[in-house]
Amino acid sequence: MVGAETLNLPAEMMVGFGPQFEDMSGHAGRMDGSSSLYTLHFPFYIFSWREGVEGKPGFQNWHHGLNGVVGDDFFVLGPYNMRLYDVAPSRGAKPGAAYKTFVYAPCACKAKPVSHGVEPKALTLDGKSCKVGEEVALAAGYHELSVSYDKFGRAALVMMRTDIASEPSKVPLSMCWYNDPAVLPFDPFGGKVKEGVYTATLPPACDAIEITLRGTLLSANIAGADAEVTLVDDGGRGAPALPGGTTSAPALPDNVVGRSPRDRREKTYRVKPRLANAGVAALTLKVAHEPGFTGGAAFTEPMRLTCGKGKIALGNWALIADGLRFYSGGAVYEKTFTLTKEQAAATATLDLGRVGACCGVSVNGGAEKVLCCPPWCVEIDGLKEGTNTLKVTVYNTLNNHYQTIPTRYRTTVENEPSGLIGPVTISFGEQQLK
C-alpha cells in the first residue's frame, strides 16, 4: 500500500489481512500533528476475518496438515508459541491487553457485543461502559469501541446486529465471523482513509488479472500505462459504470465454490494491459475502500493471473515478481542456441547450477530426463548442427502456497527457492557454452 508508513502500517500486507484495531497494550504510541493539535497513534492490530492472525494460527493438529479448521479467536493475548499453537507466557509474566477501534453501522440498528474465548475485563462503546450481550441502539455511522483483557489466552469480540439473522461462515478454513451479515465491520481509522493505492509486480507476459474487492476499483495501471478495466461482477448491487471507459460483463454464477448470497457484497474486476508486455511489469491499483476493508483486507481473494509466454531472469521466481511469490506449481524455461558440427557431435553435459525443487530436461522435443536432487547435471543427446532448443520444466514445493494459509509447516521463500536458479552452462569437453 503506497504511503502505508504515514498511516503507521506495514508496507506489505497479505490478501485479506488489514488493520482492525489500534493496539494499546503497553505501547507508547506516536504523536503526529502541529504544535497546537496532536493525535496519538498506536500500532495497528492486523488480522483476517477469514484466517485470523498471520503466523499465529489456532490449534490444528500435531500432524502435517491444517485439520480443516481455523479458530474463531483473533486476539492473541500474550506470547505465542507456534509449537503449541497457543499462548505460552513465561513464569512471572503479567497479562494485560487493550484495543480500540470504531464500529461502523451502515444504518440505524440494534446490536450487541459478542465475546468468544477469554472474557473482556472492560468494554466501552462511545465512551460508555457496556456489557457483553447487552443490546444497544446504534445510529448510522461510526462508534468508538474499546476493550481490555487481564488474562492470557485467545479471544474475540464482535458487534453483532440483533435485527437481522446471523449466518456463521461455512467457507473452508475460515473463522465463523467471516462474511456473517450480522457482524458489523471495524475501522480503526473511523472512515478517514477512504482510498488507497496498491502496487505489485506481475509475472512475465501477464495477459489478465482478476481482482475481487470489498470496495471499488477506481483505476488500474500496468507498466506505466492505463489498463483496461472490466466490471465482471458487481455483487448484485447494480454498481454504476466506472470512469475511464470501464465496461461490464455478465455476472458470475452464484454456485461458484465458497459463494453464498451474503458474499454478493464483493465486486470482481478483470484488468488487462492495453499493450503486450513480455517481461515483469508493475501493477498499480487505486481502490475506494468499504468501511473496515483497508490494506490487504480490501482484497478478499488472491488475484487470479493469466500469463502467456514471456521472458524471465534466472533466479528465485518468488523474489522476481509478487505474482509468483505465493505460486506453487510448474514453469517451462526455453532457450535456443546454435552449435557447430563439432559441438553437436561431442558429448554434452548440461549443468543447471541450482534448481528449486525438481526438473525435467529435454532437447529438441526429445525424451525428458528428470532430476530430483543435486548435482543438477545431466548428459544431453539429440543435439544437431545449427539451431537447438532446450526446455527445462521446473516444479517447486508447496512452501510458496503455505505462505498464504495459517500453518507452521513452512519456511521463508528465501530459504526454499523456486525455479531455475542457475547459472546454466553446457560443456563440450573443455569448451563451455553459457
Which residues have a Cβ under 8 Å from the Cβ of 197 and sit 6 or more positions away? 1, 2, 3, 284, 285, 286, 287
3-state secondary structure of 58: coil
C-alpha cell at 309: 509466454
The per-residue pLDDT for range 92-145, each reduced to its tens digit, is: 899 999 999 999 999 999 999 999 999 999 999 999 999 999 999 999 999 999
The per-residue pLDDT for range 201-240, each reduced to its tens digit, is: 999 999 999 999 999 999 999 999 999 999 999 876 554 4
φ, ψ of residue 28 to 5 degrees: the values are -80, -25
- Say what the pLDDT of residue 265 is: 77
- DSSP state, residue 7: G
Domain boundaries, the chain: 17-161, 195-307, 317-433
Could you tell me how far CA 89 lies from the centroid of its own chain? 29
Residues 317-433: name the CATH superfamily. Answer: Galactose-binding domain-like (2.60.120.260)
Pick the closest to residue 304 from 415, 208, 205 (CA basis): 208
CA–CA gap between residue 231 and residue 317 (Å, rounded): 30
Q: What's the chain's Rg over C-alpha atoms?
A: 26
CA–CA gap between residue 320 and residue 314 (Å, rounded): 9
Which residues have a Cβ under 8 Å from the Cβ of 249 and sit 6 or more positions away? 230, 231, 232, 270
Pick the closest to residue 22 from 187, 159, 138, 156 (CA basis): 187
Whether the link from the prior residue into 220 is cis, omega within 30° of 0, is no
Helix (H) or strand (E) holding 195: strand 195-202
CA–CA gap between residue 102 and residue 291 (Å, rounded): 10
Angle at 327 between CA 323 and CA 209, to 5 degrees: 40
* pLDDT tens across the length of the chain (434 residues): 777 777 778 888 889 999 999 999 865 445 454 444 445 568 999 999 998 888 887 766 555 555 667 889 999 999 988 878 789 999 889 999 999 999 999 999 999 999 999 999 999 999 999 999 999 999 999 999 999 999 999 999 999 999 999 999 988 888 999 999 999 999 999 999 999 999 999 999 999 999 999 999 999 999 999 999 999 998 765 544 444 444 444 443 333 333 333 444 799 999 999 988 889 999 999 999 999 999 999 999 999 999 999 999 999 999 999 989 999 999 999 999 999 999 999 999 999 999 999 999 999 999 999 999 999 999 999 999 999 999 999 999 999 998 888 777 889 999 999 999 999 999 997 777 76
Give the dihedral sign, CA 285/290/296/302: negative
CA–CA gap between residue 338 and residue 433 (Å, rounded): 10
Which DSSP string do the residues of 284-301 spell out, in sequence order? EEEEEEPTT--GGGGB-S
Pick the closest to residue 342 from 389, 387, 385 (CA basis): 385
